[in-house]
């Protein structure tokens, strides 16, 4: 069953039934001010950091689901309703939610009154605009009452949920005209405040939650709204909110537009106060004045649309697959921007207080984002590298507000350093900016410890070499890419974190074949970079280590039909036919195939055939098989999940692309495409009931074949799946791959594809590429012409900036 449809022309997903199987959300803002918004206007806002600077309150995992948001209540005659259906849940005559690129438009109709809500965060603005349009479609004059509502979070989203003995006494607000200011803790250590305004005089307001709702009422039934009477309360402690009250009269056929603004500002310590106890509001006033008319708001909205036109114009494809095109041209790229901004911090599955920016996660996010805004990718690379230690190890996560490594999580994940090589080389291939390697980057953010970024890559590479186990394979540390393969944890205490506890590591023999494969891929990339820089000795040294690793993998990492996954603490095999459960895993087979290890000996082909046979199912490729049916203390969290979920034989979408790229190494375009399509969300739209989460973005996990409900997805939006799938489809299936010298053209497609066209902006020029497949091949470029002239290899050279060219490719 479907709950809406794709509107590709407007680049929107249109939800026509508010009762989606799970809240289907969108993100507003892509710089500093962010909001999450569901199809019924639930969600919250924050500034930079969802943990430390949460602006409005939201209740995760509550009853009912999706509690808290920016709500509008319309009272007309005796009836009360919300344009987004929730929270009132009054039946509407019409409902529609359009999630677009950085905006959401929700329309509700009741009793011939149409209410349209447009939410967006304008570019370079620390505020969410809410444009409310009320239209009287009846033949009578309408008199209605409108109440707005948001609830303030007391800034730190973690303590906001627990320290009630303090929180209930600290809340403070100010009300000035139509603007409600939230200033809790501003009197002491904070120099920031939030505000909620409307561009017209109000007839009342409320800022005290209990007075607004009545102590025992829910969001669906505020007492003031039911009675049609605001209380004009000024909150002192308890829970401050912001609600405007407006009386609106509408002639038949007339409409009225109101502009609400939910904003955030910071003041310098010496400029905090206007007068004793009264905050200096000049910055808020300035922002409000930028959006105080419909015209100004419409212009800001048009600028946002133009911004996305430009961004999405960097890569466009036209194939015969409509569902593919809409993902590549619109939603997959959009999701890459979102994962770039948020890493794994705030979604409807990530509470915003658990995780900050991940070292490995953010590096991987770059490979799907770098072609959009390379300057921001550059800044991110430097932020990430600044959290590294001199020996190449690094903090697993850092907080976006402070950009400092997160001590609570620590480090010790031995795959982490390598991803810096992946992210940095992707950036240089896209931009040609070798200069980034000279940027002075500190270790652990310690002033004075700066070295050129290039040295960070060296220590990243060396960290693996310096941490090898008995077979010459990389030691795993706390875990590798699979956070849940905790081979040194040995936890029997449910209060211990699997990831941060390392009960034994001295003398550990736990080695990872996934890191080994990753090392070979990144090592070769790093060596190539060194060669380009004229560092021939270093390139040689690196390749010697890479070759040794390849040998170690062939010798100790091959199980006969596929690559092993790991050796455990005691040196026993994991991911082997000798194991009773968990005989084969996706990650090591993906990375070793991507590296083409044992290609000549037929290892790659065998491994991928085994993956097909044992891991593939209707909804995608599961992580391991057979699933673990019990807890193995020596394996850790992976075996804590019930079979078929998450890292225990779930379809972890993030790593399916590794197999897909492996298939393209073998030239099996049919299989690559089959796998790609299985996890591509637009292809699951018709089974939204089962799939549950948004059909326009990737989810981290789809329940695997051993699960109770195979095909049910969880953890949408913030997943490396977004970047990896964009990388895979654009560079390995459609085969348009940035390199230091130009665009490599190397498609690997299903034989039934006759032709497609890609427009790619690259280093300032535009390449219009037509790929023709008259002989129904899967791989192999037979001929290429550039502006009609044949070129000898499959690298289309760099062109003078600003030029356009036609490239014709025949397979
Ligand atoms: C984490 C990744 C990790 C993956 C697999 C995700 O939740 O963000 O860093 O690689 O899980 O465990």
Q: Average pLDDT, stretch 643-661? A: 98
Q: At what angle do helices 416-431 and 513-532 cross, to 10 degrees?
A: 40
| Residue that is written with structure tokens 């969410």 in the block | 128
Strands (E), 516-646: 566-567, 573-574, 584-585, 616-617, 620-621, 624-625
Atom 11 in ligand 1: which residue has the minimum CA distance? 483
Taking the centre of ligand 1 as the mean of its atom positions, its distance from the CA of residue 478, in whole angstroms, is 13
Cβ 358 under 6 angstroms from ligand 1:
yes
Among 343, 349, 361, 363, say which to mutate for ligand 1: greatest number of ligand atoms within 8 Å of CB.
361
Give the nearest ligand 1 atom to 344 CA.
8
The pLDDT, as a whole number, for residue 407 is 87
The pLDDT, as a whole number, for residue 804 is 97
Atom 10 in ligand 1: which residue has the minimum CA distance? 481
Taking the centre of ligand 1 as the mean of its atom positions, its distance from the CA of residue 713, in whole angstroms, is 16
Q: Which two tokens stand for residue 545?
A: 């280590």
Q: Is residue 54 within 8 Å of residue 153, measured between CB atoms?
A: yes
Q: Is residue 740 within 8 Å of residue 432, measured between CB atoms?
A: yes
**Higher model confidence: residue 627 or residue 504?**
627
Taking the centre of ligand 1 as the mean of its atom positions, its distance from the CA of residue 511, in whole angstroms, is 19
Taking the centre of ligand 1 as the mean of its atom positions, its distance from the CA of residue 481, in whole angstroms, is 6
CB-CB neighbours of 21 under 10 Å = 15
Cβ 623 under 6 angstroms from ligand 1:
no
Cβ 355 under 6 angstroms from ligand 1:
no
The pLDDT, as a whole number, for residue 336 is 98
Report percent pLDDT > 70 for the chain.
100
The pLDDT, as a whole number, for residue 174 is 98
H helices of 557-702, where?
A: 586-594, 603-614, 656-666, 669-679, 688-691
Q: Average pLDDT, stretch 126-143? A: 98
Give the nearest ligand 1 atom to 360 CA.
9
Taking the centre of ligand 1 as the mean of its atom positions, its distance from the CA of residue 474, in whole angstroms, is 19
Of 713, 621, 634, the residue nearest 661 (C-alpha) = 621
Cβ 76 under 6 angstroms from ligand 1:
no
Q: What are phi and psi of 84, to 5 degrees?
A: -90, 15
Q: Average pLDDT, stretch 680-699? A: 98
Q: Average pLDDT, stretch 335-356? A: 95
Mean of the per-residue pLDDT values of the chain = 97
Instruction: Using DSSP, state whether 753 is helix, strand or coil.
Output: coil
Taking the centre of ligand 1 as the mean of its atom positions, its distance from the CA of residue 251, in whole angstroms, is 56
Distance between CA atoms of residues 90 and 170, nearest Å: 35
The pLDDT, as a whole number, for residue 235 is 98
Cβ 359 under 6 angstroms from ligand 1:
no
Please report which helix (H) or strand (E) contains residue 150, including its range. Answer: strand 142-155
**Is 354 a residue whose pLDDT tops 90?**
no
pLDDT, one tens digit per residue, over 361-412 is 999 999 999 999 999 999 999 999 999 999 999 999 998 888 999 888 889 9
Among 362, 477, 638, 654, say which to mutate for ligand 1: greatest number of ligand atoms within 8 Å of CB.
654
Give the nearest ligand 1 atom to 479 CA.
12
pLDDT, one tens digit per residue, over 248-279 is 999 999 999 999 999 999 999 999 999 999 99
The pLDDT, as a whole number, for residue 78 is 85
Instruction: Using DSSP, state whether 14 is helix, strand or coil.
Output: strand
Cβ 416 under 6 angstroms from ligand 1:
no
Give the nearest ligand 1 atom to 715 CA.
7
**Is 768 a residue whose pLDDT tops 90?**
yes
**Is 77 a residue whose pLDDT tops 90?**
no
Q: Specify whether 483 is catalytic.
A: yes
Q: Average pLDDT, stretch 491-496? A: 96
Atom 5 in ligand 1: which residue has the minimum CA distance? 482
Distance between CA atoms of residues 278 and 183, nearest Å: 10
The pLDDT, as a whole number, for residue 408 is 87
Cβ 344 under 6 angstroms from ligand 1:
yes
pLDDT, one tens digit per residue, over 299-315 is 999 999 999 999 999 99
**Is 527 a residue whose pLDDT tops 90?**
yes
**Is 525 a residue whose pLDDT tops 90?**
yes
Chain center to CA of 440: 28
Of 686, 717, 680, the residue nearest 25 (C-alpha) = 717
The residue annotated as part of the active site, out of 208, 483, 525, 746, is 483
Cβ 647 under 6 angstroms from ligand 1:
yes
Taking the centre of ligand 1 as the mean of its atom positions, its distance from the CA of residue 641, in whole angstroms, is 14
**Higher model confidence: residue 410 or residue 650?**
650
Q: Average pLDDT, stretch 196-218? A: 98
Q: What is the DSSP string of 732-781?
A: IIS-EEE-SSEEEE--B--TT--EEEEEEEETTEEEEEEEE-TT--SB--
Q: Is residue 682 within 8 Å of residue 11, measured between CB atoms?
A: no
Q: Which two tokens stand for residue 128?
A: 């969410």
Atom 9 in ligand 1: which residue has the minimum CA distance? 361
pLDDT, one tens digit per residue, over 33-45 is 999 999 999 999 9
Taking the centre of ligand 1 as the mean of its atom positions, its distance from the CA of residue 150, in whole angstroms, is 33
pLDDT, one tens digit per residue, over 733-743 is 999 999 999 99
**Is 505 a residue whose pLDDT tops 90?**
no
Cβ 483 under 6 angstroms from ligand 1:
yes
Give the nearest ligand 1 atom to 652 CA.
5
Cβ 360 under 6 angstroms from ligand 1:
yes
Taking the centre of ligand 1 as the mean of its atom positions, its distance from the CA of residue 396, in whole angstroms, is 11
Of 389, 388, 427, the residue nearest 529 (C-alpha) = 427
């Amino acid at each position: 069953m479907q709950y809406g449809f794709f509107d590709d022309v407007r680049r929107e997903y249109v939800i026509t039934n508010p009762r989606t199987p799970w809240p289907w959300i969108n993100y507003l803002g892509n710089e500093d001010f962010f909001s999450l918004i569901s199809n019924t206007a639930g969600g919250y806002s924050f500034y930079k950091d969802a943990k430390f600077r949460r602006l409005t309150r939201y209740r995760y995992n509550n009853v009912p689901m999706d509690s808290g948001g920016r709500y509008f209540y319309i009272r007309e005659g005796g009836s009360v309703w919300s344009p987004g259906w929730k929270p009132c849940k009054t039946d509407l005559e019409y409902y529609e939610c359009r999630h677009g690129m950085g905006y959401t438009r929700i329309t509700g109709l009741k009793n011939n009154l149409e209410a349209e809500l447009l939410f967006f965060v304008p570019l370079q603005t620390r505020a969410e605009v809410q444009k409310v349009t009320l239209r009287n479609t009846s033949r009578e004059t309408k008199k209605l009452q409108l109440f707005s509502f948001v609830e303030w979070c007391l800034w730190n989203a973690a303590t906001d949920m627990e320290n009630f003995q303090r929180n209930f006494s600290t809340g403070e607000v100010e009300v000035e005209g139509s603007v409600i200011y939230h200033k809790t803790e501003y009197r002491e250590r904070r120099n920031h405040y939030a505000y909620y305004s409307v561009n017209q005089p109000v007839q009342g307001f409320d800022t005290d939650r209990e007075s607004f709702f009545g102590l025992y009422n829910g969001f669906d039934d505020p007492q003031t709204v039911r009675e049609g009477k605001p209380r004009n309360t000024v909150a002192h402690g308890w829970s401050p909110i912001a609600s405007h009250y407006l009386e609106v009269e509408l002639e038949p056929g007339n409409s009225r537009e109101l502009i609400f603004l939910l904003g955030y500002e910071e003041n310098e310590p010496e400029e905090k106060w206007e007068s004793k106890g009264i905050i200096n509001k000049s910055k808020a006033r300035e922002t409000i004045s930028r959006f105080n008319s419909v015209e100004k708001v419409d212009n800001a909205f048009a600028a946002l649309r133009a911004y996305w036109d430009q961004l999405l114009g960097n890569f466009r494809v036209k194939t015969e697959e409509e569902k593919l095109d809409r993902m590549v041209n619109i939603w997959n790229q959009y999701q890459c921007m979102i994962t770039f901004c948020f890493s794994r911090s705030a979604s409807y599955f990530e509470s915003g207080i658990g995780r900050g920016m991940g070292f490995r996660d953010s590096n991987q996010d770059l490979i799907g984002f770098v072609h959009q805004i390379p300057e921001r990718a550059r800044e991110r690379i430097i932020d990430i590298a600044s959290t590294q230690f001199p020996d190449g190890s690094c903090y697993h996560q850092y907080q976006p507000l402070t950009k400092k490594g997160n001590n609570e999580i620590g480090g010790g994940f031995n795959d982490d350093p390598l991803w810096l090589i992946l992210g940095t080389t992707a950036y240089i291939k896209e931009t040609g900016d070798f200069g980034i390697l000279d940027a002075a980057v500190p270790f652990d953010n310690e002033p004075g410890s700066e070295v050129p970024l290039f040295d960070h890559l060296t220590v990243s590479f060396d960290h693996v070499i310096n941490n090898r186990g008995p077979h010459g394979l990389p030691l795993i540390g706390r875990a590798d890419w699979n956070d849940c393969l905790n081979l040194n944890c040995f936890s029997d205490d449910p209060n211990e974190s699997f990831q941060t506890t390392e009960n034994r590591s001295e003398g550990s023999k736990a080695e990872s074949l996934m890191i080994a494969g990753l090392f070979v891929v990144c090592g070769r990339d790093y060596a190539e970079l060194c060669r380009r820089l004229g560092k021939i000795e270093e390139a040689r040294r690196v390749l010697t280590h890479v070759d040794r690793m390849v040998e170690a993998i062939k010798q100790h990492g091959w199980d006969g039909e596929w690559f092993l996954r790991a050796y455990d603490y005691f040196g026993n095999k994991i991911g082997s036919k000798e194991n009773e459960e968990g005989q084969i895993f996706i990650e090591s087979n993906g990375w070793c195939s991507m590296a083409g290890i044992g290609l000549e000996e037929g290892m790659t082909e065998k491994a991928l055939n085994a993956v097909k046979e044992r891991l593939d199912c209707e909804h995608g490729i599961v992580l391991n098989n057979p699933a673990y049916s019990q807890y193995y203390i020596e394996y850790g969290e992976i075996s804590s999940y019930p079979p078929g979920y998450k890292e225990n034989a779930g379809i972890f979408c993030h790593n399916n692309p590794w197999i897909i790229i492996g298939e393209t190494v073998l030239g099996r375009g049919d299989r690559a495409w089959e796998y790609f399509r299985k996890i591509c969300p637009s292809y699951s739209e018709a089974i939204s009931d089962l799939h549950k989460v948004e059909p326009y973005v990737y989810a981290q996990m789809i329940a695997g074949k051993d699960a109770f409900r195979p095909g049910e997805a969880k953890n949408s939006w913030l997943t490396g799946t977004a970047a990896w799938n964009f990388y895979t489809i654009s560079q390995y299936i459609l085969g348009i791959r940035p390199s230091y010298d130009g665009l490599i053209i190397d498609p690997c497609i299903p034989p039934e594809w006759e032709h497609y066209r890609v427009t790619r902006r690259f280093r300032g020029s535009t390449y219009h590429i037509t790929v023709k497949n008259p002989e129904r091949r899967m791989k192999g470029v037979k001929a290429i012409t550039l502006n009609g002239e044949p070129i000898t290899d499959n690298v289309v050279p760099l062109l003078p900036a600003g030029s356009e060219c036609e490239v014709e490719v025949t397979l």
